[in-house]
Amino acid sequence: MSSSLPLSSSDQSESISQKAVVIYSGGMDSFTILNKAKAEGFDLYAITFDYGQKHTKEIEFAKQVCLELGIEHKIIDITAINQLLQSSSLTSDIDIPEGHYEAANMKSTVVPNRNMILLSLAIGYAVDIGAEKVFYGAHAGDHSIYPDCRPEFVHAMNDVAKIANYEPIDIVTPYLNSHKSEILTDGLNMGLDYGKSWTCYNGREKACGKCGSCVERLEAFAMNNATDPLAYEV
C-alpha cells in the first residue's frame, strides 16, 4: 500500500492557480481571450461592464458563457457615466454607422476614454482579490480607429498599473498585434463555438451584418474559410 507525502509549502503554492481578471464584453475577441486564459490554467474572474451601450445583448452572451464555464463573473452597472459620453453612437441617439472600421465615419463609435475607465476598474478589482493580471482584448484591427487600443496606450497603461497601487498589476493583451482573422484562427484551433459571442453594435435579434464590428467579423470568418454561426439580417 503506497502513501503520499504531504506537499511542501512551495509545492502547495505552485499547485494554486494564479488569479487573473478578464475584461469580458461578450464579443469574439474577449471570448477567445477568456477561453485562452482558462486553457492556460488561470483562476479567472470575469468582469463585464454595462456603460449604457446600445448593444447590451453582448452582456447576456457573456453571462451565459461564464455560467457554462463555471467562471466567477461580475456584471458592473456604470451606466451613470453614459451622460458624460454622449458623443459616441454607441451610447447616444446617434445612428450606428455602416461600413468598414477604416472608414472615417466609424469614429462616431469611439466612446471617450472607455478603455482607460474599464481598465482602471478592472485593475482595482484585481488588487482587491489578489490577482496579478488583467486580460483585455485590444487588437491590431482596432488600431486605426480606436486610440485606446493602440500599443502606445496599452504600454502606458501597463506602466501606470504597476505603480498605481502597492500591488503591481500586469495588463495582458495576447492579441495586441494580431488582426481579427488571426484571433479567430486561434479560437477555431481551440474548437471554440463563436455562436456564443456577440459582436454587432446593434442589439437586435439578429446581427445587422453592416456595422463595422459585423463587417470585420464576417471578413475574419471568410479569411478562415469558415461560416459564422450567428444569424444575420442580411
Question: What CATH number did the domain enclosing 100 receive?
Answer: 3.40.50.620
* Domain membership flag for residue 61: yes
Nearest 5 degrees, angle CA 87-CA 156-CA 180? 65
* Domain membership flag for residue 105: yes
* Domain membership flag for residue 36: yes
Overall domain count for the chain: 1
* Domain membership flag for residue 137: yes
> Which residues have CB under 8 Å from 189's CB, separation 6+?
none
At position 90, the amino acid (one-letter code) is L
* Domain membership flag for residue 92: yes
Give the per-residue SS3 of 66-86.
HHHHCCEEEEEECHHHHHHCC
Q: Is residue 158 exposed (0-12), middle (13-18) or buried (19+ Cβ within 10 Å)?
A: middle
Range of the domain at 138: 17-223
The pLDDT value recorded for residue 145 is 77
* Domain membership flag for residue 234: no
Pseudo-torsion of CA 210, 83, 62, 15, nearest 10°?
130
Residues of the chain with pLDDT under 50: 1-15
The pLDDT value recorded for residue 230 is 96
- The model's pTM is 0.88
Answer whether 126's CB lies under 8 Å from 133's CB: yes
Condensed to tens digits (0 to 9), the pLDDT of residues 78-109 reads 889 888 877 765 666 666 666 565 556 666 66
The pLDDT value recorded for residue 219 is 96
* Domain membership flag for residue 63: yes
Cell 454607441 -> residue: 90
The pLDDT value recorded for residue 15 is 47
The pLDDT value recorded for residue 94 is 61
CA-CA distance, 149 to 136, in Å (whole number)?
10
* Domain membership flag for residue 64: yes
